[in-house]
């Protein structure tokens, strides 16, 4: 089928060719055969072919299947692509070699990446050889020392690994993706002034990606997009100037671009501290305000539940030690000790204070999620109400995230908490707080600018980058009143490609469990119960808490499983929820149906609920979830929820045969 449209297509597919009609013809045919949910035009730039390509292109153009641009000579890859781009009408430009064959659904992951993520300027696909091994799983920038010469260049990842190699399936941030199949925004291409035509069929794609990154755009590899690549079939001129290309590239980029890996003379690779390759997680919501501010805005969110005296002390420290440009959001979880009235007075007297009131105690996760939904910040800080901040606390907490965009979560050190954040000794009165500011200042001076990497940090004070929130949503409300939702969030952020660090020069006083104590909550019992929830969610061994073995290699190997990691936030005027792309919904449902078929009902339920959470109108997901719940709990609450789901589908679509049949089967059973 043809998806060529004469107006404004979603994608302009630009294909430079030089002879090899036997490759160009099946490539074009595969694009039309597979079609797409997005409209496209094909622009073929003929670089002076002499094998009948020109005549074939003329026929194809007459049939409306492509547009042909005929060059009198071989312009090379860069100039050919630039010529095609100058005639393109699409929202996006996709450069595609002619020795390719696309597969079903190849285009959707690339286009939806740019559609849903305004920070991404370039997206690339997974390329396979004809024998189903990997040709391109992203490109690492490598510094090589060989024969006395140190230079940098691109190295294809997962090269010649099996097509289902896990590393190549996962989407990742890269510095570079191959130009053999590369989607780019036209405004990015224009700002870079196209491919640098000083290169001849080599390194122009690496150069293009690095220039895009210098302009602040992200480059993303999407392993879900699969294209077969019959590599280097364009003729002997393809490699005629390799050495010249490498030398030109290094004159421009050596010392300017930071390599991901170093390769020593013995061939061994070692990652650098500047390594930019990390998991890419697509955003599920986007803040409306995306304009860069001269100074970042931070939203400090304080959850309150009784314990008014601690809240008052916390607020006093915040007002004294927090720059007035930042907003303070207080979320009350149904206090009964005068906290609500006191917060109301505070909001009336302080313009930067916002108060959110919950009728009942929603728990730590749900209460903080209400605060996150009310926040406008570039960064958000979850801060317990039984803390006291110290001079310069927020600037020190913010600095690691401002210095490194890979940092998603930051925490401070304190006097009272479990884990590595607790200092072994503090030199101030922890009851009266006499000497606190002096101690914090000495501590800051001794550790100025220092950071420590951690897998997880405690949520008594947790700075969150807005981008993390856009990808992960909020805290998981399954943890109820509190405990382990912070550990869970750190693990989710890690799998989404973000680093968690401790600002060693930031110290905050923490009482610990003040709201639990005021509310009469059994802290130990709450901790034990929530660890069990955490253990089941992450499929840990029953004795994981006593052994400390959390099976991190297995969790890491599973990658960024979006349905497991994302938790929706309440509706907000500050952001919009992004629709779940059809291709992704279909993939999630297929995973769930596969799990159902093998009897893994808990996993199947996870996938089906994830689709419904982002697409409540999905009848397939509702039917699948209903059958799963019925099989899991044929007589209890599962059956009742299943019936409600099916009745809701029929209320929206009385002709839905699946829902009617499933409901009848349940009634008969």
Contacts of residue 664, defined as CB under 8 A and 6 or more positions apart, other chains included, come to none
**What is the reported pLDDT for 513?**
67
pLDDT-derived band at 240 (thresholds 50, 70, 90) equals low
Does residue 558 have a pLDDT over 80? Answer: no
* 52 Rama sector, left if φ>0, alpha if ψ -120 to 50, beta otherwise: left
Quote the tokens at residue 507: 């110290």
Instruction: Evaluate whether 11-279 and 295-554 have a shared fold.
Output: yes
CATH code for 295-554? Answer: 3.90.550.10
Per-residue pLDDT at 481: 85
Tell me the HSE value of 430 on the side-chain side, using a 13 A CA sphere.
13
Mean pLDDT (whole number) for 300-305: 97
- Residue 257: both structure tokens together: 């671009």
pLDDT reported for residue 201: 83
Q: How confident is the model at residue 234 (pLDDT cuts 50, 70, 90)?
A: very low
3-state secondary structure 312-347: HHHHHHHHHHCCCCCEEEEEEECCCCCHHHHHHHHH
73 band by pLDDT with thresholds 50, 70 and 90: confident
Q: What's the pLDDT at 613?
A: 85
87 versus 602: the higher-pLDDT residue is 87
Distance set, CA 537 to CA 117, 483, 541 (Å) = 28, 14, 11
C-beta separation of 200 from 16 below 8 A: no
Residue 404: predicted pLDDT? 96
| Residue 538, pLDDT score | 83
User: Is residue 329 a contact partner of residue 371, using CB atoms and an 8 Å limit?
Assistant: yes
- Kindly report the length of the chain: 669
The C-alpha atoms of residue 33 and residue 104 are separated, in whole angstroms, by 9
Phi, psi for 137 (deg, rounded to 5): -125, 40
Q: What is the pLDDT of residue 529?
A: 85
Highest mean pLDDT among 25-29, 196-200, 454-458, 662-666: 25-29
- pLDDT exceeds 70 at position 217: yes
Element (H, E) at 603: helix 601-614
Q: Provide the 8-state DSSP code for 569.
A: P
Tens digits of per-residue pLDDT, 244-259?
Answer: 999 999 999 999 999 9
Q: Of the given ranges (209-218, 320-329, 432-441, 564-573), which has the lowest mean pLDDT?
A: 564-573
- pLDDT band for 516, please (50, 70, 90 cuts): low
CA-based torsion, 85, 87, 92, 98: positive or negative: negative
Residue 504: its pLDDT value, please? 98
Tokens 């210095």: give the residue.
Answer: 403
**DSSP 3-state assignment of 164?**
coil
Percent of the chain's residues with pLDDT above 90: 79
Lowest mean per-residue pLDDT among 316-325, 381-390, 548-557, 631-640 = 548-557
Per CATH, the number for 579-668 is: 1.25.40.10
β partners of residue 454:
500
**Could you read off the pLDDT of 323-359 as tens digits, one per residue?**
999 999 999 999 999 999 999 999 999 999 999 999 9
DSSP 195-253: S-TTS-SSSHHHHHHHHHHHTT-EEEEEEEEEEEE--S-S-GGGGTTHHHHHHHHHHHH
Q: What does the pLDDT read at residue 453? A: 95
Number of helical (H) and strand (E) elements in the chain, helices listed first: 25, 26
pLDDT, position 669: 72
Asked whether residue 561 carries a pLDDT value surpassing 80, the answer given is no
Mean pLDDT of 169-183: 95
Lowest mean pLDDT among 169-173, 317-321, 347-351, 550-554: 550-554
User: Stretch 234-241: mean pLDDT, rounded?
Assistant: 51
Encode pLDDT of 381-419 as tens digits: 999 999 999 999 999 999 999 999 999 999 999 999 988
Q: What is the mean pLDDT of residues 626-650?
A: 93
Phi, psi (rounded to 5 degrees) for 481: -65, -25
Compute the distance between CA of residue 258 and CA of residue 281 in angstroms, rounded to an integer.
23
| pLDDT of the residue at 233 | 44
Candidates 295, 289, 392, 311; CA nearest to 355 is: 311
CATH T-level fold of 11-279: Spore Coat Polysaccharide Biosynthesis Protein SpsA; Chain A (3.90.550)
Domain ranges of the chain: 11-279, 295-554, 579-668
């Amino acid at each position: 089928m043809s998806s060529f449209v004469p107006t404004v297509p979603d994608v302009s597919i630009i294909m430079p060719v030089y002879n090899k009609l036997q490759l160009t013809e099946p490539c074009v045919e595969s694009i039309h055969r597979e079609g797409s949910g997005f409209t496209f035009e094909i622009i073929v730039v003929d670089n002076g072919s002499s094998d009948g390509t020109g005549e074939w292109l003329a026929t194809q153009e007459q049939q409306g299947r492509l547009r042909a641009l005929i060059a009198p000579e071989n312009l090379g890859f860069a100039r050919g692509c630039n010529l095609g781009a100058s005639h393109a009408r699409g929202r996006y430009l996709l450069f595609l070699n002619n020795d390719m064959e696309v597969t079903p659904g190849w285009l959707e992951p690339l286009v939806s990446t740019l559609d849903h993520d305004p920070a991404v300027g370039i997206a690339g696909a997974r390329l396979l050889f004809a024998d189903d091994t990997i040709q391109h799983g992203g490109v690492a920038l490598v510094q090589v020392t060989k024969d006395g010469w140190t230079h940098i260049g691109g190295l294809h990842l997962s090269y010649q690994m099996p097509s289902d190699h896990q590393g190549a399936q996962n989407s990742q941030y890269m510095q570079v993706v191959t130009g053999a199949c590369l989607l780019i925004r036209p405004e990015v291409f224009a700002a870079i002034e196209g491919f640098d035509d000083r290169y001849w069929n080599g390194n122009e794609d690496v150069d293009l990606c690095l220039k895009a990154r210098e302009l602040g755009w992200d480059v993303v590899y999407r392993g879900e997009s699969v294209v077969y690549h019959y590599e280097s079939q364009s003729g002997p001129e393809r490699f005629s100037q390799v050495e010249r290309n490498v030398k030109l590239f290094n004159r421009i980029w050596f010392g300017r671009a930071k390599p991901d890996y170093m390769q020593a003379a013995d061939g061994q690779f070692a990652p650098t501290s500047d390594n930019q390759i990390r998991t890419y997680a697509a955003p599920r919501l986007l803040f409306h305000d995306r304009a860069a501010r001269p100074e970042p805005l931070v939203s400090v969110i304080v959850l309150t539940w009784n314990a008014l005296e601690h809240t008052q002390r916390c607020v006093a420290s915040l007002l004294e030690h927090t720059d007035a440009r930042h907003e303070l959001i207080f979320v009350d979880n149904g206090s009964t000790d005068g906290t609500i009235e006191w917060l109301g007075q505070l909001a009336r007297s302080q313009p930067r204070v916002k108060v959110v009131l919950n009728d009942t105690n929603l728990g730590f996760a749900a209460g903080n999620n209400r605060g996150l939904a009310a926040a406008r910040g570039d960064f958000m800080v979850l801060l317990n109400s039984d803390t006291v901040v110290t001079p310069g606390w927020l600037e020190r907490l913010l600095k690691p995230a401002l210095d490194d965009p890979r940092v998603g979560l930051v925490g401070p050190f304190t006097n009272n908490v479990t884990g590595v954040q607790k200092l072994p000794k503090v030199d101030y009165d922890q009851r009266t707080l006499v000497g606190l500011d002096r101690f914090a200042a000495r501590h800051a001076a001794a550790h100025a600018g220092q950071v420590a990497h951690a897998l997880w940090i405690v949520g008594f004070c947790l700075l969150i980058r807005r981008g993390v929130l856009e990808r992960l949503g909020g805290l998981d409300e399954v943890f109820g009143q509190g405990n382990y939702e912070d550990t869970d969030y750190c693990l989710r952020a890690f799998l989404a490609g973000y680093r968690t660090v401790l600002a060693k020069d930031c110290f905050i006083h923490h009482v610990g469990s003040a709201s639990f104590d005021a509310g009469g909550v059994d802290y130990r019992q709450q901790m034990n119960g929530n660890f069990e929830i955490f253990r089941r969610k992450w499929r840990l061994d029953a004795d994981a808490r006593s052994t400390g073995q959390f099976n991190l290699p297995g969790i890491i190997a599973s990658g960024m499983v979006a349905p497991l990691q994302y938790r929706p936030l309440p509706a907000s005027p500050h952001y919009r929820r992004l629709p779940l792309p059809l291709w992704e919904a279909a993939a999630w449902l297929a995973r769930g149906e596969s799990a159902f078929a093998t009897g893994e009902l808990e996993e199947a339920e996870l996938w089906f609920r994830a689709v419904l959470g982002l697409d409540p109108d999905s009848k397939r997901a509702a039917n699948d979830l209903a059958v799963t719940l019925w099989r899991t709990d044929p007589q209890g609450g599962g059956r009742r929820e299943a019936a409600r789901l099916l009745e809701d589908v029929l209320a929206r679509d009385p002709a839905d045969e699946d829902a009617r049949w499933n409901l009848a089967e349940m009634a008969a059973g």
